[in-house]
Amino acid sequence: MTVTRIPVKGERPYDVVVGTGVLGELPSLLGEGVRTVAVVHPESLPEIARPVCGPVERAGFQVVALPVPDGERAKTAEVAAGLWSQFGRHGMTRSDAVVGVGGGATTDLAGFVAATWLRGVKVVQVPTTLLAMVDAAVGGKTGINTPEGKNLVGSFHPPAGVLCDLATLVSVPRDDYVGGLAEVIKGGFIADPAILTLIEDDPQGARTPEGRHTRELIERKIQVKADVVGADLRESGLREILNYGHTLGHAIERVEDYTIRHGEAVAIGMVFAAELSRLSGRIGADLVDRTRSILTSVGLPTAYRAEAWPALRDHMRLDKKNRGARQRFVVLDGLAEVGRLEDPPEELLEAAYAEVSR
């Protein structure tokens, strides 16, 4: 299979490499001068770290495999502190490197500890889930969670490269794979409508890594994110569009204590954002209907509990897009046309949520 290289521009440019058998490129991404390589991976999946550790060891690097808890349980200050201690015990210097292997939570954590150890060491991301490939591992945004909310502590730290080996997707559980589709679909609504057309053409195929359009969907979504983060690394403006559906989505994750998949929460959040766009007079009902239709066609949820609104509202007030007391929402002004809605009246938010909780 051919290899696709998607460049991410900016102050520290790098490539996202998509294909099969791309892990052989890892030693060259680590570069000269690196002695110790810390491979951070989920503790329940040591087998996904082996194909990464092998080429690195054969290239002469000292490899330290560091397992962390699965999923969002890894993204805590306690786990990060444990990794920093491990780095110290293994004598990692500023010229050494971290490799994050796994899903989005693992790559978020690996990027964060790399950004903060000795004020920044090299990191290479090896995402092994759809969500991580098309979103979390690309863009240099790293972070951990706190009891108050998701990703409230973090840093912008671009990787030296991202290696997306499509063969790893075959072993991803179906529900997890479908969850990752939410971020792909988001890319269609905010920037590349061809993504939506491809899914509508074969929704059942979109649910599997063997689908007719799988590779094109992955590459298109990575390109969307590469274009955005290359122009705005630090989320000073344009990059905020990537948060479409995430204001309510992150709040749902917090209410569910991170037991709901990120993509499932974002899918519901996109319906909320679409309804908010419609009720504020920015889009018509047809685009809201299309949002629900596409999400439903691949098996993603589009509704949430009515009684959860007060708790969700509290968590939304701590969203990282807010500025002081002013709340900001990413909305649609049309298909692939993104706008901002600042300080909407409470009754508008309640009306949009009522549509989600019907």
| pLDDT, tens digit, 9 for 90 and up, residues 249-290 | 999 999 999 999 999 999 999 999 999 999 999 999 999 999
Angle between helices 174-190 and 262-279 (to 10 degrees): 30
90 is catalytic: no
41 is catalytic: no
Could you say which of 243, 261, 278, 292 is catalytic?
A: 243
Q: What is the spatial distance between Cα 334 and Cα 160, in angstroms, rounded to a whole number?
A: 35
User: Which amino acid type is present at position 339?
Assistant: G
pLDDT band of residue 355 (cuts 50, 70, 90) is: very high
**Cα dihedral 307/331/162/257 (nearest 10):** -10
Q: Is 41 marked as binding a ligand? A: no
Q: Which two tokens stand for residue 347?
A: 């009754």
Q: Is 75 marked as binding a ligand? A: yes
Mean pLDDT for the stretch of residues 23-33: 93
262 is catalytic: yes
Could you say which of 119, 323, 326, 358 is catalytic?
A: 119
Where do the domains of the chain lie, and which CATH numbers do they carry? 4-171 (3.40.50.1970), 174-212+239-356 (1.20.1090.10)
Residue 232 confidence (pLDDT): 80
Q: Is 247 marked as binding a ligand? A: no
pLDDT band of residue 234 (cuts 50, 70, 90) is: confident
346 is catalytic: no
Q: What is the spatial distance between Cα 33 and Cα 344, in angstroms, rounded to a whole number?
A: 52
Percent of the chain with pLDDT over 90: 89
What angle is formed at CA 125 by the lines to CA 338 and CA 82, rounded to 5 degrees?
110
254 is catalytic: no
Q: Is 352 marked as binding a ligand? A: no
Could you say which of 186, 207, 220, 225 is catalytic?
A: 225
320 is catalytic: no
Q: Is 303 marked as binding a ligand? A: no
246 is catalytic: yes
78 is catalytic: no
Could you say which of 250, 292, 315, 328 is catalytic?
A: 250
pLDDT tens digit sequence for 83-137: 999 999 999 999 999 999 999 999 999 999 999 999 999 999 999 999 999 999 9
In terms of DSSP bridges, do strands 97-102 and 122-127 run parallel, antiparallel, or are they unpaired?
parallel
Q: What is the mean pLDDT of the chain?
A: 95
Q: Is 70 marked as binding a ligand? A: yes
pLDDT tens digit sequence for 141-180: 999 999 888 899 999 999 999 999 999 999 999 999 999 9
Q: What is the spatial distance between Cα 222 and Cα 205, in angstroms, rounded to a whole number?
A: 19
216 is catalytic: no
Angle between helices 309-316 and 346-356 (to 10 degrees): 130
Q: What is the spatial distance between Cα 297 and Cα 270, in angstroms, rounded to a whole number?
A: 15
Residue 324 confidence (pLDDT): 58
Q: What is the spatial distance between Cα 120 and Cα 77, in angstroms, rounded to a whole number?
A: 17
145 is catalytic: no
Q: What is the spatial distance between Cα 126 and Cα 163, in angstroms, rounded to a whole number?
A: 5
Q: Is 106 marked as binding a ligand? A: yes
What angle is formed at CA 221 by the lines to CA 5 and CA 53, rounded to 5 degrees?
55
What angle is formed at CA 219 by the lines to CA 214 and CA 220, rounded to 5 degrees?
100
Q: What is the spatial distance between Cα 300 and Cα 98, in angstroms, rounded to a whole number?
A: 34
- The structure's pTM equals 0.94
Q: Is 71 marked as binding a ligand? A: yes
